[in-house]
């Protein structure tokens, strides 16, 4: 069903129907099923793996610094815009507000975390967004600890700043929920021996089990030890980006140090909606952040993440043209 929402269109899919017939109202049952699935699959990539169902730690506290304590209460994903609004040339009029997205996903008091592009008209340049906001019952921003990462135009280094705005641009992949305490999937992994990154190994494990039935997770993970490869988008390219090679030359890549706080979502399979099947951005207390790619210290890296299972995916303002570039 296609529904008009404000100035863009929304497509909602109920992924709860794909959880092997388990009653979706019993989130704990679904989580326990995924615990065994992930525990087995992640061992193909990491030597030391632990997957458990636990009470969510208070995510407002150090080291997470999120704007709500948990991941509970009507969890759903919002997939907004996409790389096709950036490539080959940016469509700078693609601007969104967190309130618009909360309304579109039918959760006006949403807690939102995830990855996107910062508001260039406010920041002054293109940037990476690490969304981390909580709205109240009136859909007003109650807490905002969102960050942006941009490239220092003088020396090419990372600049990490808090975002004092309710807007973003071009694209976004957010977990939206009520931020309540409750059961979550805790995933710990270290000593990587496989080729996949942390998120890809989880996503591919779920795909291998569920196949073309889409299942989705959202949440936060920490890179607790080691270093990771991240990119930051510089200011917009003045020449068209027509290939992945062009895009990689335009992006700025960095090795960044733990601890990193990474927020986002993953979907095991795209049911022909042009979904971003995994997208996580990182921020930190030491001035580093950006788009997570993979760790570069496989013997030393340690991950710890907390995830919830999404009931719905809302596809918002889907680009009319699909591109695989820039994903």
H or E element at residue 103: helix 98-104
Within-domain flag for 282: no
Least Cα distance to 311 among 231, 243, 214, 221 occurs for 214
The b/e string for 233-260 (b: 16+ C-beta within 10 A; e otherwise) is bbbebeeebeeeebbeebbbebebebbb
Tokens of 71: 């991941």
Within-domain flag for 300: no
Q: Using an 8 Å Cβ cutoff, are 73 and 178 in contact?
A: yes
Within-domain flag for 40: yes
Q: Are strands 76-81 and 312-316 parallel, antiparallel or unpaired?
A: parallel
Within-domain flag for 325: no
Residue 200 confidence (pLDDT) above 50: yes
Within-domain flag for 315: no
- pLDDT bin (cut points 50, 70, 90) of residue 166 is very high
**Cα–chain-centroid distance for residue 126?**
18
Least Cα distance to 292 among 283, 282, 302, 284 occurs for 282
Q: What is residue 267's predicted lDDT score, i.e. its pLDDT? A: 96
Please name the residues in contact with 225: beta carbons below 8 A apart, sequence gap of 6 or more: 190, 258, 297, 300, 301, 302
- Residues 274-301 have a mean pLDDT of 97
Q: What is residue 208's predicted lDDT score, i.e. its pLDDT? A: 96
Instruction: Give the CA radius of gyration of the chain.
Output: 18
- pLDDT-above-90 percentage for the chain: 85
pLDDT tens for 237-277 read 999 999 999 999 999 999 999 999 999 999 999 988 999 99
Tokens of 253: 């890549």
- Count how many domains the chain has: 1
Least Cα distance to 267 among 171, 219, 203, 176 occurs for 203
- Domain range for 207: 2-181+200-262
Residue 35 confidence (pLDDT) above 80: yes
- pLDDT bin (cut points 50, 70, 90) of residue 7 is very low
**Could you give the CA distance from residue 237 to residue 241 in angstroms, rounded to a whole number?**
7
Within-domain flag for 219: yes
CA angle (40, 270, 59) in 5-degree steps: 60
Within-domain flag for 316: no
- Residues 110-133 have a mean pLDDT of 98
What pTM does this model have? 0.93
Residue 120 confidence (pLDDT) above 60: yes
- pLDDT bin (cut points 50, 70, 90) of residue 25 is very low
**Phi first, then psi: what are they for 199, rounded to 5°?**
-70, -40
Tokens 């209460």 sit at which residue?
Answer: 73
Helix axes 198-210, 27-42, angle to 10 degrees: 110
Residue 4 confidence (pLDDT) above 70: no
Within-domain flag for 314: no
Mean pLDDT rounded to a whole number for the chain: 91
């Amino acid at each position: 069903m296609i529904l008009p929402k404000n100035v863009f269109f929304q497509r909602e899919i109920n992924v709860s129907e794909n959880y092997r017939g388990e009653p979706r109202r019993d989130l704990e049952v679904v989580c326990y099923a995924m615990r065994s699935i992930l525990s087995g699959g992640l061992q193909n990539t990491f030597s030391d793996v632990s997957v458990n169902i636990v009470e969510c730690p208070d995510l407002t506290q150090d080291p997470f610094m999120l704007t709500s304590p948990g991941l509970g209460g009507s969890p759903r994903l919002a997939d907004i815009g996409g790389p096709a609004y950036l490539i080959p040339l940016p469509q700078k009029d693609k601007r969104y507000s967190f309130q618009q997205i909360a309304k579109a996903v039918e959760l006006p008091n949403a807690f939102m975390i995830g990855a996107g592009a910062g508001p260039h008209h406010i920041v002054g340049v293109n940037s990476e967004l690490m969304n981390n906001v909580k709205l109240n019952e009136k859909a007003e921003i109650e807490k905002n600890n969102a960050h942006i990462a941009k490239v220092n135009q003088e020396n090419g280094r990372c600049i990490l700043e808090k975002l004092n705005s309710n807007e973003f641009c071009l694209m976004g992949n957010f977990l939206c929920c009520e931020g309540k305490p409750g059961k979550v999937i805790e995933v710990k992994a270290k000593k990587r021996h496989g080729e996949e990154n942390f998120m890809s190994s989880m996503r591919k494990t779920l795909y291998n089990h569920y196949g073309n039935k889409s299942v989705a997770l959202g949440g936060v993970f920490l890179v607790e030890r080691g270093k990771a490869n991240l990119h930051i988008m510089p200011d917009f390219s003045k020449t068209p980006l027509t290939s992945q090679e062009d895009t990689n030359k335009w992006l700025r890549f960095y090795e960044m140090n733990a601890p990193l706080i990474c927020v986002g979502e993953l979907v095991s399979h795209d049911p022909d909606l042009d979904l971003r099947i995994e997208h996580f951005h990182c921020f930190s207390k030491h001035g580093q952040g950006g788009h997570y790619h993979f760790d570069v210290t496989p013997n030393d890296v340690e991950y710890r993440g907390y995830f919830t299972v999404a009931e719905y995916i809302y596809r918002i303002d889907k680009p009319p043209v699909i591109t695989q570039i820039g994903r």
